[in-house]
Structure 1
Amino acid sequence: MPSFNQSIRISRVTFLVALIGLTIPTAVLAGPGESGHGHGGQAIGEPGKATKSTRVVQVKLVDNAYEPESIQVKPGETVKFVLRNEGELLHEFNIGTAEMHAAHQKEMAMMMEHGMLSPTGVNDKAMNMDHSTMPGMGNSMKHDDPNSALVPPGQTKELTWKFAQSGKIEFACNIPGHYESGMVGNVKFQR
């Protein structure tokens, strides 16, 4: 029979295992037909081909804001986004639901903690190393989801996305503190 101190240690280990289980990237839990950080069975769309896009939307990323603040799309439309970071900080353009962004924010915080990301850029060496030895990380911790792009200051990236038929979808920056500071916009479906 374990002593009282051993029981406390076992309870702490059980708690930590449960906590780590809650931080598993939700992309692993995505159902069939979902892309990116799937959550709750709601599909947000899928990666699109630039050649199939119906239009190009220019998005300016400035420190903790997007221009434009909202985007209108047709159900099932494929849009090519040209993302230009005119701010001084690293920013992200991530398409998803509020729940997906909340889960991704935890991953982004972990990437910052482990030096994979800094306030102004991506540490490619740290991003591509074996993370399986780091507590709570697994080897799959990378920022390579098709619904998301990291854009360092002064750079331009492209992301092409075929939207779902409907849903409550946002685009957001999930770098720690940015979403909370208002770097989030709405995708509005035209009828």
Structure 2
Amino acid sequence: MQTKIVLAAIAAFSLSTSALADAGHSHDNKPYGVPGDAKKSARIVQVAMTEQDDKMLFVPNRIEVRKGEQVRFVMKNHGASDHEFVLGTHDEIVAHAEQMRKNPDMEHDDPNSKRLSANQNGDIVWRFTNAGTFEFACLIPGHMESGMVGTIIVK
């Protein structure tokens, strides 16, 4: 009888610790993937942040990747002002853009975003775990509206 109680306690403890371990990692899982491992190989996609005439642009603004692929986005801000690269679903991008309009000086420290000053370089490593169409945008107020938005298609 005592052995059954001990075994039941061990089983309950191991279930609770695995649930706690999983709880700590679920915040990184997004519909479009997870932060990549910078120590592992990745396809490099160079992204320029530019300003031309009255437009602000990403070049390229359309990127195709394979499901499961890890990509290192290597960004260069060629513009005269700060720009950012924020990866997300359409709904996330729209909601975050609204937050930025209310708090234009908000800074990010998320694995799916990077803010760069003029002439600064930066990168993001991301592994795309789900097929679909996702977006990247500069959410500094007025920039997305000036054309600084792109599409990522995961096949």
* Shorter-normalised TM range: 0.7 to 0.9
Q: How many residues align?
A: 127
Q: List aligned pairs for 1:34-183, cutoff 5 A.
A: 34-35=27-28, 43-63=31-51, 64-112=56-104, 116=105, 142-183=107-148
* Paired amino acid for 1:161: W
Q: Deviations along 1:6-59, whole A, 9 cap, x unmatched?
A: xxxxxxxxxxxxxxxxxxxxxxxxxx74538x6xxxx12111012223311111
Q: Deviations along 1:136-180, whole A, 9 cap, x unmatched?
A: xxxxxx411111000111100111011122122011111111112
Distance 1:147 1:170 in 2: 11
Contact 1:35–1:44 at 8 Å: present in 2 too? no
Which secondary structure does the structure 2 equivalent of 1:177 belong to? coil
Hey, which bits of structure 1, 4+ residues long, moved more than 4 A? none
2:16 aligned partner: none
| TM-score relative to the length of structure 1 | 0.61
Contact 2:69–2:128 at 8 Å: present in 1 too? yes
TM superposition shift of 1:98: 1.2
Contact 1:34–1:46 at 8 Å: present in 2 too? no
Which secondary structure does the structure 1 equivalent of 2:39 belong to? helix
1:185 aligned to 130, 150, 153, which one?
150
Identity value in percent: 41
Contact 1:65–1:183 at 8 Å: present in 2 too? yes
Which secondary structure does the structure 2 equivalent of 1:50 belong to? coil
Contact 1:34–1:44 at 8 Å: present in 2 too? no
Distance 1:33 1:62 in 2: 35
Distance 2:71 2:41 in 1: 5
Unpaired runs of at least 5, structure 2: 1-24
Distance 2:72 2:78 in 1: 19
Cα-Cα RMSD = 1.9
The structure with the largest alpha-carbon Rg is 2
TM superposition shift of 1:106: 2.2
1:123 aligned partner: none
Higher strand share: 2
